[in-house]
Amino acid sequence: MTDREIMKYDVVIVGAGPAGLSCAIRLKQQKPELMVAVIEKSSEIGAHILSGAVIEPQPLDDLLPGWREDPPSICIPVEKDEIWLLSQTGRWRLPTPPQQKNHGNFIVSLGAMCVWLASKAEALEVDIFPGYAAAEIHYTAEGAVGGVIIGDMGIGREGEHKDTYMQGIEIHAPITILSEGVRGHLSKQLIKKYALDKDSDPQTYGIGMKELWRVQPGKSKPGLVQHTAGWPLDSKTYGGSFIYHLDKDRIAIGFVCGLDYEDPEFVPFEAFQQMKNHPMVHEMLEGGEILSSGARAIAEGGYQSLPKTELPGALIIGDSAGTLNVPKIKGTHQAMRCGMLAAEHIAETSSAVGFDARLRDSAVVRELYKVRNIRPAFYKGFWRGFIRAAIETVTAGKLPTTLSIHPDDSSLKKLDGYSSPHRNWVDRDLPPRDRLASVYFATTAHDEDQPVHLQILEPDICTSRCVKEYNNPCTRFCPAHVYEMVGDDAAKQLQINSANCVHCKTCDIKDPYQIINWVTPEGGSGPNYQNM
Amino acid sequence: MKILIGIKRVVDYNVRVRVLPDGSGVDTDGVKMSVNPFDEIALEEALRIKEAGNAEEVIVVSAGGDECQQQLRTGLAMGADRAIQIQTSESLQPLSVARAFLKIIEREEPGLVILGKQAIDDDNSQTAQMLAALWDRPQATFASRMELNGNSAVVTREVDAGLETIEIDLPAVVSVDLRMNEPRFVKLPDIMKAKRKPLEVISLDELGVAVEGQINVSQFSPPPQREKGIMVDDAAQLVQELKNRGLL
């Protein structure tokens, strides 16, 4: 029995992203008498949401008919698609593949859209609580998931109670929905505890980094959707950029790198900055200013990596399971559909049982199945991947084979016997000059006097093995420069600047020894993204 | 006694504020808004006084459009008993706010009015002082410590020379500084309770306060961009460059 205060709901949803909010709205539409709570660790809705984003509107039409008369604050119809292959100074326009034909779609700020979805949910009397972190799962006496335990607040760096100490309450509900986004920490625990991934391939991820720019008048062509591949990446590193032109002289620009990259010296943030300095992109950005920046991991495993999404007392939905469609680079419509399906299932059966089968039979997984071989095709490098992807597209995924997904944490080559590819990168002049300057625009804030939320399970490995085998890649793959090796060679130590963390989860994913465990810091901590 | 707390809805302190391209103001589109941090400290102090048994009611007051009800609800969730919104769509300057608060004081007859020392958006630090003058009661501003003694209060103020301790008769206006206290976190169940606490809306017109702006803001501009520096080879060159810029 607990000494914590308890609040009871019919459904508790962890995470106020598109999946969680769509689920909440649909639940109330189907059964208005249900008591539904949404718990969100960020200080306000949208503050931890970062995405391109070009969205397919059909789930919105389904969930909120009439939304087009009252759209979210940033919502620009797509006018034109362009796909470019870049070299250091040159570019070639490629034909737009069907998955990237965006006619009828909208460029949105997913963060602003979540704020808008939250207001719709609140109008239906969903209780939304931003600023509170669901730190742990509450288990019932029978061992099923029975809700969540909100993290204690006001705890000092050594674990001591400060004057402001406030014990976290427990929220009990017969059904808990995990919609934490990619690599959610509670989803990670549950997947392990219930072996939900035993019949699926490991999940594979990408790191998505994004900046929102205000550019010189005339440089932004609202409705233009551009994607690039090629330079600055080498042929063995999966990834590319997106450039989405918004209104009010704004451009959303970003870069995705597959986290299965092999070069331990690779710095994803630097690849992003290089791309911005390509002549085609530089021309758009020069004279502009950065409004916001940040990063978030992306789930790229699709069909093969989907774990079992139901467990006693809970469902895992959206990108916590991994529903993003990789060749479309769109996950929002899938997350929304998944959330709505979960809501319909709960409204009908009041149980988690049977959801997984229903999901696998649905449009969400049908869409993932169709494109299942595209991402793994790129394990053979860019050109062979490109050809296989084209074949898969033309055959609509109907070929009988299914390529398997490889785990990211074992993809790094050891330094011994490996040399990084020569990168023809340039001297660059656009801001931000480095990761610290970039983190400034993420306006991430953590009370420094709290326990470090990046747990290193075996800290000796950093200085005894990792430094020799991989040269501490965490100091390079983290987009916020959280990890640093300080001190001279004899006394080198890992320093964790946890206050910089933007909650992207890349370290939890890419660390080759899997000793980094990301847990929630105090509720309300983390980025304060606006319109991202 | 009753304690009245003034709350202002301001741009959150974490936000990277940006000047609008035409210089007419600050970009507040889609920007996070919060209770002014010093006002939270003021409310926290009032709650502690009530918890010590020296006040029976804490009332939070805010002047603004209906969006400020969000901040009033936060105040109620922290522990205030009642909220009052002075409704207006006008942008108010401190004198108008002080006049409006005076009307509420006349209605509620509080023993203590606690405000934040300044709002983090305009940094005026005027409302508390003006309110005390209009009310013709004592004021203790930039307070970092307060002790109630029946009909008076001993207040320590943070001043340029250090700390100044004064005694003032109640009722009075106190404005609080950072070191007064650290505001409590809001407990989740209290957010739900706050929804049921009374929130009264009174329009500025109903209070009989005319909006009179004494100040006209003509332009906003961001601080000048830091110029690129140059590297100098030696001390002699440094001295020369400084001389060239008229700095030596």
Q: How far apart are alpha carbons A278 and B29 in whole angstroms? A: 31
Instruction: Tell me the pLDDT tens digit for each residue of A342-399.
Output: 999 999 999 999 999 999 999 999 999 999 999 999 998 999 999 999 999 999 999 9
A441 — contact with chain B (CB < 8 Å)?
Answer: yes
Mean pLDDT over all residues of chain B? 94
Residue holding tokens 């976190």?
B185
CATH code of the domain in which B95 resides: 3.40.50.620
Axis crossing angle, helix B69-78 with helix B37-51, rounded to the nearest 10: 30
A113 — contact with chain B (CB < 8 Å)?
Answer: no
Beta carbons of B32 and A169 less than 8 Å apart: no
A531 — contact with chain B (CB < 8 Å)?
Answer: yes
In this predicted structure, what is the pLDDT of residue B155?
A: 98
Instruction: Tell me the pLDDT tens digit for each residue of B135-165.
Output: 999 999 999 999 999 999 999 999 999 999 9
Q: What is the DSSP string of B68-97?
A: GHHHHHHHHHHT-SEEEEEE-SSPPPHHHH
User: How do A36-40 and A11-14 pair as beta strands?
Assistant: parallel
A305 is catalytic: no
In this predicted structure, what is the pLDDT of residue B229?
A: 83
Burial of B128 (0-12, 13-18, 19+ CB in 10 A): buried
Asked whether residue B243 is domain-assigned, the answer is no
Asked whether residue B235 is domain-assigned, the answer is no
Whether A113 has a pLDDT exceeding 80, the answer reads yes
H/E stretch holding A218 reads none
Q: Which DSSP letter does residue B135 get? A: H
Whether A489 has a pLDDT exceeding 80, the answer reads no
Here the tokens at position A491 are: 């006394």
Residue holding tokens 């964790």?
A496
Q: How far apart are alpha carbons B13 and B118 in whole angstroms? A: 13
Q: How far apart are alpha carbons A286 and A253 in whole angstroms? A: 13
CA distance A318 to chain B (A): 25
Here the tokens at position A509 are: 């994913």
Whether B225 has a pLDDT exceeding 90, the answer reads no
Domain extent for B127: 2-215
Q: What is the ipTM of this complex?
A: 0.89
Axis crossing angle, helix B94-108 with helix B127-135, rounded to the nearest 10: 50
Q: Helix or strand or coil: residue B17?
A: coil
Beta carbons of B32 and A44 less than 8 Å apart: yes
Whether A243 has a pLDDT exceeding 90, the answer reads yes
Asked whether residue B220 is domain-assigned, the answer is no
Q: How confident is the model at residue A1 (pLDDT cuts 50, 70, 90)?
A: low
Q: How far apart are alpha carbons A111 and A532 in whole angstroms? A: 5
Whether B31 has a pLDDT exceeding 90, the answer reads no
Q: How far apart are alpha carbons A46 and A15 in whole angstroms? A: 10
Asked whether residue B42 is domain-assigned, the answer is yes
Structural domains in chain B (count): 1
| Contact in structure between A366 and A372 (CB atoms under 8 Å) | no
Using only the alpha carbons of chain B, give its radius of gyration.
22
Taking CB atoms and an 8 Å cut-off, how many pairs form between chains A and B?
54
A504 is catalytic: yes
A393 — contact with chain B (CB < 8 Å)?
Answer: no
Q: Which residues contact B233 (CB under 8 A, 6 or more apart)?
A: none
Helical ranges in A265-373 per DSSP H: 268-276, 279-285, 302-305, 332-349, 355-360, 363-370
Q: How far apart are alpha carbons A276 and A431 in whole angstroms? A: 10
Asked whether residue B81 is domain-assigned, the answer is yes
Q: What is the number of other CB atoms lying within 10 angstroms of the CB of residue A43? A: 21
A462 is catalytic: no
CA distances from B248 to B171, B226, B227, B232, B240 (A): 56, 21, 20, 16, 9
Q: Which residues contact A179 (CB under 8 A, 6 or more apart)?
A: A13, A14, A15, A17, A19, A20, A23, A317, A318, A320, A335, A339
Catalytic pick among A504, A506, A520, A525: A504
Return the percentage of chain A with pLDDT > 90, whole number. 96
Axis crossing angle, helix A332-349 with helix A363-370, rounded to the nearest 10: 140
CA distances from A202 to A273, A300, A360, B69, B178 (A): 30, 10, 18, 47, 50
Q: Which DSSP letter does residue A356 get? A: H
Q: Helix or strand or coil: residue A184?
A: coil
Instruction: Tell me the pLDDT tens digit for each residue of A140-197.
Output: 999 999 999 999 999 999 999 999 999 999 999 999 999 999 999 999 999 999 999 9
Asked whether residue B222 is domain-assigned, the answer is no
CA distance A190 to chain B (A): 25
CA distance A81 to chain B (A): 27
- Summarize the confidence of residues A503-509 as an average pLDDT: 97
Residue among B14, B18, B188 minimizing CB distance to A150: B188
**CA angle A239-A245-A251, nearest 5°?**
80
In this predicted structure, what is the pLDDT of residue A379?
A: 93
User: How do A314-316 and A310-311 pair as beta strands?
Assistant: antiparallel
Residue holding tokens 């080498």?
A234
Using only the alpha carbons of chain A, give its radius of gyration.
22
Asked whether residue B233 is domain-assigned, the answer is no
Domains and their CATH numbers in chain A? 6-67+112-201+302-370 (3.50.50.60), 435-518 (3.30.70.20)
Here the tokens at position A21 are: 């909010």
Q: How far apart are alpha carbons A519 and B107 in whole angstroms? A: 50
A387: left (phi over 0), alpha (psi -120 to 50) or beta: alpha
B4: left (phi over 0), alpha (psi -120 to 50) or beta: beta
Residue among A112, A440, A528 minimizing CB distance to B32: A528
Which residues of chain A does B19 touch, with a Cβ-Cβ cutoff of 8 Å?
A: none
Q: How far apart are alpha carbons B139 and B153 in whole angstroms? A: 11
Asked whether residue B191 is domain-assigned, the answer is yes
**CA angle A478-A479-A484, nearest 5°?**
45
Torsion angle of alpha carbons A129, A131, A134, A140, nearest 10°? -40
